[in-house]
Amino acid sequence: MAGVDGRRGGWVVATVDVPHGVDESPARLVSLEYRETLASLLDEEARVIAIDMPIGLSDDGSRACDVAARRILRPHGSRVFPAPPRAALPYITDYEAACAASRAVSGKALSRQSWNLLAAISEVDDLADDECLVECHPELAFALMNGHPVDERKKTPEGRARRLDLLRRWLPDLDDPAYGDDGLDAIACAWSAARIASGAAVTLPAGSLRRDGRGRPMRICA
């Protein structure tokens, strides 16, 4: 299983070996590495690749999975960026055009944070017909590990220490990983990948699953 988190210019990939299921030990971090592209990862034998990036993209407005994730993470719901509509994808280099395209279909402009993700979302979109790719969110994973949302911000020493402590409950031999909070997030995504593979994952939204115009599920799993 693998977990993937975006990092400037590429991706941080955590590969784990979970021989007996996510809730049993020993789980082992096999590797944590930076890759410039995702395509090579799909050529490898990863049963599930859980990635912190939108996959199913709305044609007309907000996604129910984002709304549900923000509700679970209250009072830290802003940690989930609204996914841009598909109409904005062609405008990776033009913020104003992306906002205009978004307004035309949803009535809302894009935040700068969402627009900055367009290139990465586009790369994932080109590969998303591969069913091993599943959308997740590391803060949702940490909230499930913790029993409630982690209050400390991940870029603070306290926040990093708290998240590392939660991951060590699953990976007892985990050293303080490289790549800053992106490394922690990638490993949290790998935790979600293990849960997805075992059938133990939570899927948002609960109930009926809506698909986008390309037939891809608009969901977040953890």
User: What is the average pLDDT across 151-167?
Assistant: 95
Q: Are 55 and 69 in contact (CB under 8 A)?
A: no
Q: Are 16 and 194 in contact (CB under 8 A)?
A: yes
CA-based end-to-end distance of the chain = 13
Collapsed DSSP state (helix, strand, coil) of residue 133: strand
Dump pLDDT digits (tens) for 41-50: 887 766 899 9
**pLDDT score for 23:** 58
Q: Which residue has the tokens 């490289």?
A: 178
Dump pLDDT digits (tens) for 64-110: 999 999 999 999 999 998 899 999 999 999 999 999 999 999 999 99
pTM above 0.85, yes or no: yes
Q: Are 193 and 136 in contact (CB under 8 A)?
A: yes
Helix (H) or strand (E) segment spanning residue 185: helix 180-198
What sign for the dihedral angle of Cα 27, 32, 37, 43? negative
Provide the b/e sequence for 147-165 (b: ≥16 CB within 10 Å).
Answer: eebbeeebeeeebbebbbe
Mean model confidence pLDDT for the chain: 92
